[in-house]
Amino acid sequence: MPFDADARIAVEALDAFLAASLAGEGPVITQPPLADLAAALDLERLIAEGGLTGDRLRAFLDRYLSVATRLHHPGYLAHQVAAPEPHGAIGALVDGLTNNPMNIYEMGPGAAAIEFVLVNWMLGKVGWTPPPLPPARPVPGSCGGGTLTHGGSLANLTALAAARAAADPLAWRDGVRGDLVLVAPAAAHYSVARAAGILGLGQRALRAAPCDRNGRLLPDRLPALLDAIAAEGQRVMAVVASACSTAVGRYDPLREVGALCRERGLWLHVDGAHGASALLSPRLRGLLDGVELADSLVWDAHKMLRTPALCAAVLVRDHRRLDGAFQQEASYLFHAKDEPGFDFMPRTVECTKSGMGLKLFLVLAARGEGALAAYVEAQTALAAAAAERLARQPGFEVACAPESNIVCFRLPGSDARQLELRRRLLAGGRHYLSSTEHGGRRWLRLALMSPATGLEELEALIEALRGLAAGVT
Ligand SMILES: Cc1ncc(COP(=O)(O)O)c(C=O)c1O
């Protein structure tokens, strides 16, 4: 069976899956036992024997898609993963077949050009100077820089590796000295704490930034913490701010924190994995007011830019910071060459890196950045309306007014009750929401990702929860 015939079968199946998902057909989530699923999909036999083409491929895809979580479904309200704009999936297909690991230019010039131009587009949105397009070279220190990475966690690690290189240039050769600390709100994404472990600072080097009851950093109280750290003989490797936080989706006050970091010569890292996409909207970009004062920023396209996972960006105000983050010798890759393009590899943890920019590029090229700005605005407005409706329900409590497309709420009763309500709701297959801890309590959590979700769906969710609540004590 030729590739194009099987590819047609796959596209037809996906097209039907997409249309059904958008129309709210089928369960948004289903969780059969893994062993049953492996048997139903006939996985072990197919691995041994092959032959999955033509009608057999069609039947397999039907079964596979029948258990796929439906991110485009109006009842998908769970995790911060994009409901991809379909053209992004074309990017995944083209990248998959060409398989141009573009971390060195000679292996994927088209993908590298796309990544360079996308990074420049993002730098421009932040308010940082983009570098000239190669083969032109920037005047050292005159502009920002960046790279795409496989996910926001890796992007945070990359940015914090750059911060470590700036704070302790010898750490790369000699290991960390033990006097470096990382200041971050307790609500920072766990990948920040992981980075502290991976970079050799250790979890004990994490110092909790003072925050209000919504987990938002309090800049007025930050100087006292920084003074205390200095008095202990410790040095701050970086201050981390969230834009926005994972749990409740609130933005830290970047201008105040940024000004303080500039005054004290400290590295400010902004984790904008979820919320940096607000930079596209003139109406919402004020949420990130002052972001240009940061030293580094993470911005995931596979969250709010409707791009299939993975596609995340790490951006720096001064390109030299990222160029100095990793100092590996690899003579087969890094050597003087007449370079018409750009090698991203010195800036990344990854050696082989997919041409992930093609997915984001095709989303933008199909829809234009205005459509993405409108999407971010619409999801943010929907979250505000949802919070208002939820707060009006007798006994319901909303954690805080949403600033993004994330809303946390709870029904009366214990943490265990919230989890049981969620379990029963998911079993119904119509709505899929997540849950989180915030302020020492468990909340039900909506991340409004699907463009098909409207207020009527959220009203149906409230009704469903009311119905379930009667049977859960
Ligand atoms: C604020 C924030 N940072 C980082 C991440 C990690 O991103 P990824 O899942 O792409 O590794 C997340 C994921 O939800 C996040 O919300």
Q: How far is CA 233 from CA 181, 230, 237, in A?
A: 11, 5, 13
Q: Please report the pLDDT score of residue 335 as a whole number.
A: 60
Q: How far is the CA of 437 from the centre of ligand 1 (A)?
A: 16
- Is the minimum distance from the CB of 404 to ligand 1 under 6 angstroms? no
Gap from CA of 454 to ligand 1 centroid (Å): 25
Strands 145-149, 312-316: pairing is antiparallel
Residue 291 has pLDDT above 80, yes or no: yes
Helices 3-22 and 86-98 cross at an angle (nearest 10°) of 150
Q: In Å, how far from its chain's centre is CA 291? A: 17
* Per-residue confidence (pLDDT) for residue 338, from 0 to 100: 72
Q: What is the pLDDT of residue 331?
A: 61
3-state SS string for the chain:
CCHHHHHHHHHHHHHHHHHHHHCCCCCCCCCCCHHHHHHHCCHHHHHHHCCCCHHHHHHHHHHHHHCCCCCCCCCEECCCCCCCCHHHHHHHHHHHHHCCCCCCHHHCHHHHHHHHHHHHHHHHHHCCCCCCCCCCCCCCCCCCEEEEECCHHHHHHHHHHHHHHHHCCCHHHHCCCCCEEEEECCCCCHHHHHHHHHCCCCHHHEEECCECCCCCECHHHHHHHHHHHHHCCCEEEEEEEECCCCCCCCCCCHHHHHHHHHHHCCCEEEECCCHHHHHHCCCCHHHHCCHHHCCEEEEEHHHHCCCCCCCEEEEECCHHHHHCCCCCCCCCCCCCCCCCCCCCHHHCCCCCCCCCHHHHHHHHHHHCHHHHHHHHHHHHHHHHHHHHHHHHCCCCEECCCCCCCEEEEECCCCHHHHHHHHHHHHHHCCCEEEEEEECCEEEEEEECCCCCCCHHHHHHHHHHHHHHHCCCC
Residue nearest to atom 7 of ligand 1 (CA): 152
What mean pLDDT is predicted for residues 184-202? 97
Over residues 244-267, mean pLDDT: 98
Mean pLDDT (whole number) for 336-356:
91
User: pLDDT value at position 160?
Assistant: 98
Sheet harboring 312-316: ordered strands across? 145-149, 312-316, 296-300, 268-271, 235-242, 180-184, 206-208
Tell me the average pLDDT across 444-459.
98
From 150, 160, 190, 191, the mutation candidate for ligand 1 (largest count of ligand atoms within 8 A of CB) is 191
pLDDT digit string, tens, across residues 306-315: 999 999 999 9
Euclidean distance between CA atoms 24 and 322, whole angstroms: 44
In this predicted structure, what is the pLDDT of residue 339?
A: 81
Q: In what order do the strands lie in the sheet with 76-77?
A: 76-77, 432-438, 441-447, 406-410, 397-398
Per the rule left: phi > 0, alpha: psi between -120 and 50, beta: everything else, 215 is left
Assess whether the C-beta atom of 151 lies below 6 angstroms from ligand 1: yes
Confidence at 237, pLDDT banded by 50, 70, 90? very high
Q: How many CB atoms lie within 10 A of CB 99?
A: 12
Nearest C-alpha neighbor of 102 from the set 328, 354, 361: 354
* Cβ–ligand 1 contact at 246 (below 6 Å): yes
What's the rounded Cα separation, in Å, for the pair 288 and 150? 24
How far apart are the CA of 233 and the centre of ligand 1, in A?
A: 32
Which pLDDT score is estimated for 327?
79
Please give the Cα distance from 392 to 462 (Å, whole number).
Answer: 11
Q: Which residues neighbour 390 within 8 Å (Cβ) at sequence distance 6 or greater?
A: 396, 398, 407, 409, 462
pLDDT of amino acid 473: 87
**pLDDT value at 379 more than 90:** yes
**Type of residue numbered 278:** A
Ligand 1 atom nearest the C-alpha of 151 is 10
Residue 215 Cα to ligand 1 midpoint, Å, equals 17
194: CA distance to ligand 1 center in Å? 12
pLDDT at 269 over 90: yes
Give the other-Cβ count within 10 Å of 191's Cβ. Answer: 21
152 CA → ligand 1 middle, Å:
5
Cβ count within 10 A of residue 166: 19
pLDDT at 328 over 70: no
Is the C-beta atom of 405 inside 6 A of ligand 1?
no
Is ligand 1 within 6 A of the CB of residue 358? no
Q: How far is the CA of 316 from the centre of ligand 1 (A)?
A: 18
User: What is the distance between the alpha carbons of residues 59 and 81, in angstroms, rounded to a whole number?
Assistant: 27
Mean pLDDT of 297-319: 98
The yes-or-no verdict on residue 84 having pLDDT over 80 is: yes
CA 162 / ligand 1 centre spacing (Å): 19
Q: What is the mean pLDDT of residues 205-234?
A: 97
How many angstroms separate the alpha carbon of residue 8 from the centre of ligand 1? 34
pLDDT score recorded for residue 297: 98
CA of 306 to the centre of ligand 1 (A): 15
For a ligand 1 pocket test, name from 80, 81, 189 the mutation site with the most ligand atoms within 8 angstroms of its C-beta: 189
* Phi, psi angles (nearest 5°) of residue 421: -60, -40
* Residues paired with 437 in a beta bridge: 442
Tens digit of each residue's pLDDT (9 = 90 or more) over 166-175: 999 999 999 9
Query: Is the shortest distance between the CB of 294 and ligand 1 below 6 Å?
Result: no
Burial tier of 289 (Cβ tally within 10 Å: 0-12, 13-18, 19+) = middle
Please indicate whether residue 191, judged by its CB atom, sits closer than 6 Å to ligand 1. Answer: yes
Q: For the chain, what is the mean pLDDT?
A: 96
Q: How far apart are CA 136 and CA 131, in angstroms?
A: 9
Distance 56 CA to ligand 1 centre (A): 37
What six digits make up the tokens of 332?
Answer: 């087969």
Residue 332's pLDDT is what?
Answer: 61
Q: How far apart are CA 39 and CA 42, in angstroms?
A: 5
Helices 357-367 and 86-98: crossing angle in degrees, nearest 10, is 140
Q: How confident is the model at residue 303 (pLDDT cuts 50, 70, 90)?
A: very high
β-partners of residue 441 are 438
Q: Is the Cβ atom of 153 under 6 angstroms away from ligand 1?
A: yes
To test the ligand 1 pocket, which listed residue (81, 150, 274) has its Cβ within 8 A of the most ligand atoms? 274
Token representation of residue 133: 């397009």
